[in-house]
Structure 1
Amino acid sequence: MKVRAPRNRTLELADRERDSLSRRLISLTQAVSPPDILNQTICQDVLTALPHLPPGSVDLLIVDPPYNLTKDFNGSQFKQRDRTVYAAWLDRWMSQLRPVLKPNASAYFCADWATSTALYPILEQHFTVRNRITWEREKGRGAQTNWKNASEDIWFCTVSDRYTFNVDAVKLKRRVLAPYRNSAGQPKDWDDTGAKQYRLTHPSNLWTDITIPFWSMPENTDHPTQKPEKLIAKLMLASSNAGDVVLDPFLGSGTTSVVAKKLGRQYIGIEQDLDYCCLAQKRLDLADSDPSIQGYSDGVFWERNTLSAQRSCRPQSGIAER
């Protein structure tokens, strides 16, 4: 284990934990039925696992594949490829994902700006592309000869024209800068309870309220491309209902499965790295005692850095921003 600062809350694996948690992982060698894989972590390469998944069994697909960048994943290096080679790799597993989805399923695909150019044409072949979400990453190094890369994309796709979208579940609570009132003197589309005024706003495809996991957050791991729980919670609440099945074929350290458990969904996660699979299992266990999601409180998503405002407006529930 690494030597960390006393206040560092990054999740790690002890050898004894790895031994214990690894026994709960599964791998697939033949076709299975949904009960065999629901709420399980499948530890194997996605291309060997997908052919065995039951067709028409998944309500929501969340995919965060390796971007077309050279990146080290716990000793396994994904190398940047020629754009056409990378596109062929995308199509190879995406064509196997499509049959696993229900007719009314939705799918979200993460990408950076360069990966998006290769990803979009492949998505069009398999799905109806509905939108592109751009979310701000406030971390990252500056560049001397280019603009700092401070955003990523999420492509919103559906299998058909019949799909779930719960707009009220993903409204964002923002401070009111111009608090208008109607003729009767009542707040117009805002809440005047508490010391400050807030308004629930419809979700757009530009997200600036996301915090990247870092050392002081209990969800943080050493996975190099870990997505925030709040980010995944938005996708899940918008495009699935309680009890629905959510599949993540590039699970990493488990964020999608953990958020699904916290939000009352069922999950299937596929990840080839043993340590990341064990981290996912550890996080799933921790979710039993701590179902909180940073930035999501009392059924509402809050702007970044509004902890003090939340406290002044209402007593905190079990789901709160740290």
Structure 2
Amino acid sequence: MKDRSPHNRTLDLTEAEQQQFSQRLQTLHQTVKPDAILNSIIWQDVFKALDYLPEKFVDLLIIDPPYNLTKNFNGNAFHRRKNLAYTDWLEQWISQVQQLLKPTASVYICSDWLTSTLIYPVIAQYFIIRNRITWEREKGRGAQRNWKNNSEDIWFCTVSNNYFFDVEAVKIKRQVMAPYRTQEGQPKDWQDTPNSPNKYRLTHPSNLWTDITIPFWSMPENTDHPTQKPEKLIAKLILASSQPGDVVLDPFLGSGTTAVVAKKLGRQYVGIEQDLTYCCLAEKRLSLAELNPAIQGYANGVFWERNTRIPSP
């Protein structure tokens, strides 16, 4: 374990914990039925694991693959490739993943701005592309000879025109700066909030997200994974495009955010990750989720703007 400041809440893993949580992992050697892998993490290279997964069992696919960047994942380096080599790599596993999806399934694929242009033509061959979400990633150093890279994309796709989308579940609660009342004195498109002088309204979610906070050292969800996604971000995808009990698959699970959020929101999950440490971190986070199902920035059934002090219900 690393030596950290007393106020640093980054999640660590002891050797004893890694040994304990590794016992919960699966490695596949033959084709399995859905019941054998639901709510479990598969410790395996994604190309090997996909060969053994059952067809048409997934309701929601969330993918956060290595972007076409050179990045070190706990000693496993992913090296930037020529564009054609990267798109070939994408197509190898996307063609396999497609077979796992129900006809009503939805798909979200994360990318940075440059990788996004490589992903689009590949996924367009397999899915119906519905939208491109761009979210503000307010973290990292500024550039001296370019604009600071401060956003990432998420491609929203479906398998068919028959899919689930719950817009009411992902509305954002925003503060009203100039609250307007009708002639009768009633709030116009906003509501009074008990125990708070502020006024709020629920707004429809757009494909531009500015309310996300990147995990950092003071947040209990934070790990040392270099590309960890915020729980709030994944919660939006899960609530919008799945129902309680649905199966959520993440074939590049990393430190487990998709599985953790699926569990907190009453969905079933399957995650695939090749790194043992990340698998065990995910299992530890799943255990902690049983004690505390809260998701930062999501409370009282709605999403709140970034840095909002959420009033008591």
Normalised by the length of structure 2, the TM-score is 0.98
Distance 1:195 1:140 in 2: 34
Alignment of 1:74-113 (within 5 A): 74-113=74-113
Alignment of 1:154-193 (within 5 A): 154-193=154-193
Q: Structure 1: which 5+ residue stretches go unaligned?
A: 316-322
Distance 2:76 2:25 in 1: 20
- Please tell me the residue identity of whatever aligns with 1:285: S
- Residue of structure 2 equivalent to 1:61: 61
Distance 1:160 1:10 in 2: 40
Query: How many angstroms does 1:3 deviate by?
Result: 0.7
Task: Report Cα offsets for 1:136-168 as digits up to 9, x if no partner.
Answer: 011011111110000000000000001010000
Alignment of 1:211-226 (within 5 A): 211-226=213-228
Query: How many angstroms does 1:192 deviate by?
Result: 2.1
- Residue of structure 1 equivalent to 2:291: 289
- Residue of structure 2 equivalent to 1:19: 19
- Residue of structure 2 equivalent to 1:114: 114
Distance 2:129 2:78 in 1: 27
Alignment of 1:272-287 (within 5 A): 272-287=274-289
- Residue of structure 2 equivalent to 1:320: none
Distance 1:56 1:188 in 2: 46
- Residue of structure 1 equivalent to 2:73: 73
Distance 1:104 1:16 in 2: 42
- Residue of structure 1 equivalent to 2:257: 255
Distance 1:80 1:133 in 2: 24
> Which of residues 243, 248, 262 is equivalent to 1:241?
243
Number of corresponding residues: 311
Distance 1:219 1:198 in 2: 27
Distance 1:192 1:35 in 2: 46
Q: Structure 2: which 5+ residue stretches go unaligned?
A: none
Query: How many angstroms does 1:184 deviate by?
Result: 1.9
Aligned-partner SS, 1:29: coil
- Residue of structure 2 equivalent to 1:139: 139
**Identity percentage over the alignment?**
69
- Please tell me the residue identity of whatever aligns with 1:110: C
- Please tell me the residue identity of whatever aligns with 1:189: D
- Residue of structure 2 equivalent to 1:319: none
Distance 1:285 1:86 in 2: 36
- Please tell me the residue identity of whatever aligns with 1:294: Q
Query: How many angstroms does 1:72 deviate by?
Result: 0.2
Distance 2:238 2:249 in 1: 11
Distance 2:31 2:230 in 1: 32
Aligned-partner SS, 2:288: helix
- Residue of structure 1 equivalent to 2:34: 34
Aligned-partner SS, 1:216: coil
- Please tell me the residue identity of whatever aligns with 1:148: K
Aligned-partner SS, 1:126: coil
Aligned-partner SS, 2:7: coil
Query: How many angstroms does 1:109 deviate by?
Result: 0.1
Distance 1:196 1:216 in 2: 26
Distance 2:146 2:27 in 1: 44
RMSD value, Cα: 0.7
Distance 1:106 1:178 in 2: 38
- Residue of structure 2 equivalent to 1:203: 205
Normalised by the length of structure 1, the TM-score is 0.96
Query: How many angstroms does 1:183 deviate by?
Result: 2.9
* Between 222-231 and 12-21, the greater mean CA deviation after superposition: 12-21
Query: How many angstroms does 1:207 deviate by?
Result: 0.3
- Please tell me the residue identity of whatever aligns with 2:13: L
Query: How many angstroms does 1:181 deviate by?
Result: 1.8
